[in-house]
Structure formats: C-alpha cells, structure tokens
Amino acid sequence: MITIPEAARALRSGAATSRELTEASLVAAAALDADLSAFVVMDSDGALAAADAADEAIAAGRDLGPLMGVPVGIKDIVDVAGLPTRCGSPAYPATPAATDATLVRRLRRGGAVIAGKTTTHELACGVYSPPVSNPWNLSRIPGGSSGGSGAAVAAGIVPMAIGSDTGGSIRIPASLCGIVGLKATYGRVSRAGVAALAWSLDHLGPLTATVAGSAAALEVLAGPDPLDPSASPRPVPQYTRSLDRGVDGLKIGVLAGAPLEPMQPDVAEVFASAADLLGAHGAAMVGVEVPELEHGLAAEFGIVAPEAAAYHRELLRRRPDQIDPGIRALLVAGLMMEPEHYFKALQARRAIADALRRAFVENGLDALLTPTLPATAALNSADDFWFGDSAEPVTLAYVRTTGPFNLSGLPALSVPAGFDRDGLPVGLQIAAAPFDEETALRVGASFESVAGVSSRQPPTYSTGVVADS
C-alpha cells in the first residue's frame, strides 16, 4: 500500500513524478469504481494540472511540505471550488462550490493534488456509506460516514483522504478497512467550508495508509482559522518528530467495562494481544474503568438529533422526500425534541468528558486503549449484530466505542491491530489528553512497527500506484 512518506521519497528522488502518481490514482479509481463506488466525482483535469505544478516546484527545488505532489480524496461534505458538494444526498443541488474549504486551501498550499470527492453516507449521518463496498470483502460495509475515503485509501487508490467524525466517522471506516484514521482534538482542524452534522461534535481529519502519513497530514491540516471560531489558536507541533520514540516509559490505560461489552470474541482476542504487545515493548499497562461511558450513546444522539435538525431545517422543509427516511426521521425527532432534553444531553456530555479527563489524571496515563469497534465489518444487508443471543443495531454497536471521544473532544487514533477469522480487519483505538496528538501518534507508530499488520493488502487493491519500500 502506498504511504505518504513513500510517495514523498519517490517524488524527491525522481523515482516518480506527481503526474505519474496522479494518473495512476485516476486509472485505479476508474478501474475499481464498479466494485467500490468510493468516489462520486473525479477532477482529472484539475488533478493533472496540480500534479504538473507540483512537479515544477520539485524541479525548481521548492519544497512545499510532506503532501507535495500527493493525490488525495476529499469527502463530499467539504467544499472544493468548481466541484459540487452533494453530501451524499439528492436533496443537495449539483451547484459547484465557489470557494475551497479552509482545509482544502491548506492542502493546495502544501502542494497536494485533489483527485476527487469521496462517497459519504447521506448528510454524513450513518455508518454504512452506501453504495460503497469494503475492499476486504465486497459484501461488507466500509463503515461510515466517511466510507468512500476509507475504501479509497484501503484499495490503494490514494494515499490519503479526508473524513469527518461526529460519532466515529473517521475511525469507523479506518477500523473496518484496515487503515489509519485520526480524529484530532476538537478545534485542532478547521471546519470552515464543511457541511455540518452536529457542530459541537464534528471533527475533520485524515485517513491514511500508515501512522506517519496521518502525522504528516495533520501538520498540514491543523491550525487556527478566523473563519472557524472553534478552531484552536494553539501552535501546530511537528507531529512526525516523536514517531520513532517507542512506548518505553509510557503509562497506557486499557479500558474495561462500559462501553466495550458486548464484543465479538475475535475482536476481544485481538485487543488483548495488542495491549500485551505494547506492554512487552516497555509500556506500563493499567486497567481503567469509566462507568460514565455507559451513558455515551444517549448523550451522543441527544446532541446529534437537535443540532443536525437545526442545520438541515430548511432542507427538511423544502425537500423532505429527497432525504433518506431513516435520516429524515432523526431530523424530525430533533426538531420535536424539547430543549430540556438537549440540555440534559449536554450535561451528560460534560460528565463524560470530565470522567475521561479524570481517568487520565488520576491514573497518570499518557494514553488510553480501546478496541476501535466491538465488531468487524457488517454485511451490506445487516441491520443488527448478534452477540450471543442478543441483537444490537449496527449503528449503535459501532458508535458506542468511538462516540465518547467526540463527546469529550479528546484526540483518538485508529490503527490496524489484526484480523478476525474471516480475514476482516480489527482496529485499535488510542486516545490521548487534549491536544496531545503527538502521544497518540507515537503509540500508534510504535504498535504499527511491531504488529506487522499494516503491510497486508485487501483483495480489491490497485497495484498501479507506488508500493512501500
């Protein structure tokens, strides 16, 4: 699988040009589209022009950063000038965006090549992302709502794609597609120019082939933005500098209890092995319970429904029949919700955030581990998981382990941890203290280097892009 560091080495050594990488991405997207449906639109002319500009900059000795000349995909809730932002919904007009979102401007400024826009679950509200398929098994979902971005990276079409994450929508497809997904601290990446789902929970971030790629991407994406009042003014660290420091001397919590159970046995086994592996390489591992997380789902959906309804109120009024019935029902419920219920959800959110932060302080933790998800990729047709004799909706099963880190705003990274008996990926989630993405990335890079998982490729994979050295 291509990585951002590998692409950077190839470009700067002359082993490849950005035009070659970009042409390979465009060819791969076209070849795999019938199977994956990862992209909703490709911008061939714009991408090739940007690639040629990157090649000219490289030839002139101008280094624009780690993403210079690298093809990337953009989730179709993010404005890209000249391309429509449809949010996966027929209710949105196909009018081209007039300007780039802040994060797209930052990508362009860093020399990245915008290859096209990736498929999202409608209104970024779901965990399936139809009609996208999972490269590991085409009968399985890629996760959502950034499923197109996850599938595109996992299939080797692009080395990086942008996702959004309101309840897990970067980390869910990362886990199910066997790649890396980073949700940084709330406010670390600007949301200006991005359609909202729930403004107080939304995060933007990268899905990449490796942890080093996510670190490099965050260096480009992060930073203050006058167009987004929630964007943090904190300076942006060099996230790649700590990746090779290992975990020796770190204290890492292993979450137990709520919200992990129930869990598929294979996922539990992979998770236990991952924690043992980090312990064997020098980390002090300690069990941690946070009982308040039992109420995470109630708080998550108690906030998402009214905030999403407020944002999409006009769309719901004018074109309700063009919105998926399940999503429409959520929006209607949000409009009908009494304000006191929203306020109670906000209070629960504060209690959960405080409890998580106390867990870090009282246990002296540098990081906290959970399985990213309690189950691997569901069948495209599945509504529920069966854990023994008990059924649980797929959406609730996935969001209960990821949502707490949206509620708390803490940074959380998903890295490939292993596979279940059917060969489907299992993810490891690594959370850290506020604005301590460096530690989450450090732990992730250390695990990646010893786990030997990330080098595996799915059956649906493009071999036309530069491979790892």
Which secondary structure element, helix H or strand E, spans residue 327, and what is its range?
helix 325-336
Residue indicated by tokens 């209710």: 91
Q: Which of 169, 175, 214, 408 is catalytic?
A: 169
Residue 467: the pLDDT is 41
Mean pLDDT in the chain? 96
Q: What is the pTM of this model?
A: 0.97
SS3 state of residue 15 = coil
Catalytic (active site) residue 251 = no
Q: Alpha-carbon distance 57 to 18, whole Å?
A: 11
For residues 327 and 126, is the Cβ–Cβ distance under 8 A? Answer: yes
Of residues 413, 418, 411, 376, the one with CA closest to residue 397: 376
Q: Alpha-carbon distance 17 to 21, whole Å?
A: 6
Query: Which phi and psi angles does 438 have, rounded to 5°?
Result: -55, -40
Note the pLDDT tens digit of each residue in 263-310. 999 999 999 999 999 999 999 999 999 999 999 999 999 999 999 999
Q: What are the Cα distances from residue 62, in Å, to 56, 58, 59, 106, 306?
A: 9, 6, 8, 17, 48
SS3 state of residue 422 = coil
Tokens found for residue 165: 């994450």
Enumerate residues 6+ apart whose C-beta is below 8 A from 121. Answer: 88, 127, 128, 129, 130, 144, 145, 147, 169
Of residues 218, 209, 274, the one with CA closest to residue 242: 218
Enumerate residues 6+ apart whose C-beta is below 8 A from 13. Answer: none
Note the pLDDT tens digit of each residue in 361-399. 999 999 999 999 999 999 999 999 999 999 999 999 999
Residue 464: the pLDDT is 64
User: Does residue 231 register a pLDDT over 90?
Assistant: yes
User: Does residue 468 register a pLDDT over 50?
Assistant: no
Q: Which of 18, 89, 133, 145 is catalytic?
A: 145
Neighbours of 266 (CB within 10 A): 17
Q: Alpha-carbon distance 418 to 174, whole Å?
A: 13
Residue indicated by tokens 């409009």: 335
Q: What are the Cα distances from residue 208, in Å, to 25, 180, 368, 379, 391?
A: 15, 5, 21, 24, 32
Q: Could you give the angle at the alpha carbon of 325 between the alpha carbons of 319 and 327, nearest 5°?
A: 85
Note the pLDDT tens digit of each residue in 115-169. 999 999 999 999 999 999 999 999 999 999 999 999 999 999 999 999 999 999 9
Question: What are residue 161's DSSP bridge partners?
Answer: 73, 207
Q: Could you give the angle at the alpha carbon of 127 between the alpha carbons of 125 and 131, nearest 5°?
A: 95
Tokens found for residue 7: 């692409």
Tokens found for residue 466: 């530069």
Note the pLDDT tens digit of each residue in 14-71. 999 999 999 999 999 999 999 999 999 999 999 999 999 999 999 999 999 999 999 9
Catalytic (active site) residue 145 = yes
Q: Alpha-carbon distance 15 to 274, whole Å?
A: 36
Note the pLDDT tens digit of each residue in 319-367. 999 999 999 999 999 999 999 999 999 999 999 999 999 999 999 999 9
**Beta strand spans in 31-112 (E):** 39-42, 71-75
Residue 113: the pLDDT is 98
Tokens found for residue 184: 């940084």
Note the pLDDT tens digit of each residue in 169-183. 999 999 999 999 999
DSSP 8-state symbol, 371: E
Q: Which of 75, 117, 129, 408 is catalytic?
A: 75
At the fourth CATH level, which superfamily is domain 4-297+329-451?
Answer: Amidase signature (AS) domain (3.90.1300.10)
Q: Could you give the angle at the alpha carbon of 375 between the alpha carbons of 123 and 426, nearest 5°?
A: 100
Q: Alpha-carbon distance 118 to 149, whole Å?
A: 6
More confident residue, 3 or 140: 140
